[in-house]
Amino acid sequence: MSTFEFTILIAFGSLVAGLIGALTGLGGGVVIVPLLTLAFGVDIRYAIGASLVSVIATSSGAAAAYLKEGFSNMRVGMFLEMATTVGAMTGAYVAASTPTRAIAIIFGIVLLYSAYSANKPPKDLLTDEPPDRYATLLKLDGSYPTSEGEQHYRVRHVPAGFGLMYVAGVLSGLLGIGSGAVKVLAMDQAMRIPFKVSTTTSNFMIGVTAAASAGIYLHRGYIDPGIAMPVMLGVLAGALIGARILPGARVRTLRLVFSVVIAALAVEMIFKGVKGSF
Amino acid sequence: MASTQAWGDKRFEVMMGRLLRFGVVFAAGWVLAGGIHYLVQFGGAKPEYKVFHGEPGGLRYAHEIVRGAMELDARGLIQLGLLLLIATPVARVAFSVIGFALEKDWMYVGITLIVLALLVYSLCSS
């Protein structure tokens, strides 16, 4: 296989990954690393570097659409960014001294969790409890527009959410993914933020988090232009097409199928990691 | 209780979103141009990514990448586009400092400056 064929195949695979990732809400990043390592035999460090770059592209590319809707909560986003950026830098530093087979196994476990959590229907856990002390202090409570007017919400369990966001950052920096699934866990489950707000806010955070570790990966020589180029262009094109056809698409079946694919990739990564072929 | 959701001027937010999209489109176009140059030059070679070597110094540090790109080195050109892409979320955080300052929310100006400092540190340290 020549470099030309290799590049075109990776670009095409990334486009499909970005498209399905956007349609299912799972993000294209989660399958880039398995795709590159399992199908193309690329070293996992190059794969993680390329995936990280594509995560930034989709996050910043989607921001314009999200900002117009007026759902995102900038204070929640910026406050939690302190946790995710420190986490991402931790993850990127830890990655250097972690054996690649261990990274493959952790990757597989996170993939399995992502596949599972994507199929749980989003449920808002709005409460009438008194305001959270930290949420008040940090002015995190907010509201978002609905067809029946402004819907107010209160942010709960700020320390737990902050801690979980640190974990999301570590995973992002270690594995080169957006770790949307852990962010959902922190913002929806722990902090009780309505999912419309948490999805749009976390989209913004994913790009900033990935940028925090991308610099470290770049300095370490993990970001190869020959691989990152087709991955970034493919995922970005796929995500933009996906966002355009999303409103009319019926995604439940697709999400289920994609989750099964992800779970299969996860098992293969764990298996190969345990066997030591990474 | 005042709503804290209205973040700065709505127009400021929309403008920032457009700016981000412009940044991504510009970076992607740059990477694509570099990619075509790269394929013309190296398209026939054999790809070698099974074993990790790490990139040469010229593709690791901002000033080296800029120099490589100025010499129209294909890999350097792509890398500069990727560097621009990595900079887009950093730019957004920098603009958020202005957004919070316009609101005179000094606590969040501080929080945003901390995030910005972390990002700049990770991009510039080696």
Statement: residue A85 has pLDDT above 50 = yes
Inspect the interface and report whether the beta carbons of A67 and B119 lie closer than 8 Å: no
Inspect the interface and report whether the beta carbons of B49 and A61 lie closer than 8 Å: no
Q: Nearest CA to A208 among A50, A111, A63, A70? A: A63
Task: Work out the mean pLDDT of chain A and round it to a whole number.
Answer: 89
Total domains in the fold of chain A: 1
Q: Which of A43-47, A127-131, A251-255, B19-23 has the highest mean pLDDT?
A: A43-47
Total domains in the fold of chain B: 1
Statement: residue B5 has pLDDT above 60 = no
- pLDDT at position B4 is 43
Q: Smallest Cβ distance to B17: which of A68, A211, A232?
A: A68
- pLDDT at position B12 is 73
B67: containing domain: 10-41+56-124
- pLDDT at position A182 is 87
B37 within some domain: yes
- pLDDT at position B3 is 42
A176: containing domain: 3-275
**What is the average pLDDT across A8-32?**
88
Please list every residue in chain A whose beta carbon sits closer than 8 Å to the beta carbon of residue B58.
none
Please list every residue in chain B whose beta carbon sits closer than 8 Å to the beta carbon of residue A143.
3, 5
Query: Which residues lie closer than 8 Å to A29 by C-beta, 6 or more apart?
Result: A21, A51, A52, A54, A55, A58, A176, A177, A178, A235
Of A69 and B61, which is predicted with more confidence?
Answer: B61
Statement: residue A44 has pLDDT above 70 = yes
B3 within some domain: no
Residue A69: alpha-carbon gap to chain centroid: 21
B84 within some domain: yes
ipTM of the complex: 0.91
Optimal mutation site among B9, B73, B82, interface A, most CBs of chain A within 10 A: B82
Taking only the tens place, the pLDDT of each residue in A134-146 is 898 899 988 888 7
**What is the average pLDDT across A3-10?**
95
CA–CA separation, A184 vs A198, rounded Å? 7
Statement: residue B107 has pLDDT above 70 = yes
**What is the average pLDDT across A113-134?**
77
B48 within some domain: no
Statement: residue A28 has pLDDT above 80 = no
Taking only the tens place, the pLDDT of each residue in A224-266 is 999 999 999 999 999 888 888 877 677 788 888 888 989 999 9
Q: Smallest Cβ distance to A75: which of B4, B10, B119?
A: B4
**What is the average pLDDT across A65-90?**
88
- pLDDT at position B1 is 37
> CB count, 10 Å around CB of A247?
6
Phi-psi region of A25 (alpha: psi -120 to 50; beta: other; left: phi over 0): left
B65 within some domain: yes
- pLDDT at position A267 is 95
pLDDT level of residue A126 (50, 70, 90 thresholds):
low
Percentage of chain A lying above the pLDDT 90 cut: 54
> How far away is chain B from the Cα of A41, in angstroms, using its nearest Cα?
6
- pLDDT at position A185 is 83
B67 Cβ under 8 Å from any chain A Cβ: no
Of A68 and B78, which is predicted with more confidence?
Answer: B78
- pLDDT at position A199 is 83
B46 within some domain: no
In order, the DSSP letters of chain B are -----S-S-HHHHHHHHHHHHHHHHHHHHHHHHHHHHHHHHHTTSPP--SS-----GGGTSHHHHHHHHHTT-HHHHHHHHHHHHHHHHHHHHHHHHHHHHHTT-HHHHHHHHHHHHHHHHHHH--
**What is the average pLDDT across B31-47?**
94
Inspect the interface and report whether the beta carbons of B108 and A78 lie closer than 8 Å: yes
Of A277 and A187, which is predicted with more confidence?
Answer: A187
Nearest CA in chain A to B64: A219
B51 within some domain: no
pLDDT level of residue A122 (50, 70, 90 thresholds):
low
